[in-house]
């Protein structure tokens, strides 16, 4: 598995430079047999998912795509958490950024029981 949050870090030289390097890294990982890439809607404001999508262009079925949501991505009340509104809105945004029509694994990000989203998830698991 390639954990992608570091690949799109603004600490890399320039946006264009780190985009090329990130794509090169994904392709190299694939050549080594790594085809599961873990991402999140919040990593670098969605840029990580955009780079991830460009790296998979024409090769989508070769990859297993995992991404996460829950954390705040805006200022409105439904811009975080596990509400239906947030999940549906973010899934649309994720699919657009990845330039795909499906993800293989959608996860709740940092969803401990001390967090409201974690309590909601725990309720889902016990009902």
Q: What is the pLDDT of residue 8?
A: 54
Q: What is the pLDDT of residue 77?
A: 73
pLDDT tens per residue across span 36-56: 988 877 667 778 889 989 999
Distances (CA, A) of 2 to 5, 64, 105: 9, 11, 14
Q: What is the pLDDT of residue 68?
A: 84
Which residue among the candidates 26, 42, 43, 48 is catalytic per the annotation?
A: 43
Phi, psi of 99 (to 5 degrees): 55, 50
Query: What CATH number did the domain enclosing 67 receive?
Result: 3.20.20.100
Query: How many angstroms separate the CA atoms of 8 and 77, rounded?
Result: 27
Number of domains in the chain: 1
pTM for this one? 0.75
> Is 43 a known active-site residue?
yes
The whole-number mean pLDDT for each consecutive block of 10 residues of the chain, a chain of 127 residues, reads 59 61 91 90 77 94 88 71 80 93 86 54 47
Question: Which domain, by its residues, includes 48?
Answer: 2-126
Q: What is the pLDDT of residue 4?
A: 60
Helix boundaries (H) for 32-83: 47-56
Q: What is the pLDDT of residue 86?
A: 77
């Amino acid at each position: 598995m390639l954990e992608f949050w570091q690949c799109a870090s603004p600490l890399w030289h320039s946006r264009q430079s780190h985009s090329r390097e990130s794509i090169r890294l994904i392709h190299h990982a694939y050549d080594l047999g790594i085809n599961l890439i873990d991402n999140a809607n919040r990593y670098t404001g969605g840029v990580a998912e955009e780079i991830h999508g460009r790296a998979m262009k024409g090769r989508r079925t070769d990859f297993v795509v995992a991404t996460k949501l829950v954390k705040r991505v805006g200022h409105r009340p439904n811009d975080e958490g596990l509400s239906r509104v947030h999940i549906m809105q973010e899934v649309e945004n994720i699919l657009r950024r990845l330039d795909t029509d499906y993800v293989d694994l959608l996860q709740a990000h940092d969803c401990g029981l001390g967090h409201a989203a974690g309590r909601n998830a725990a309720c889902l698991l016990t009902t």
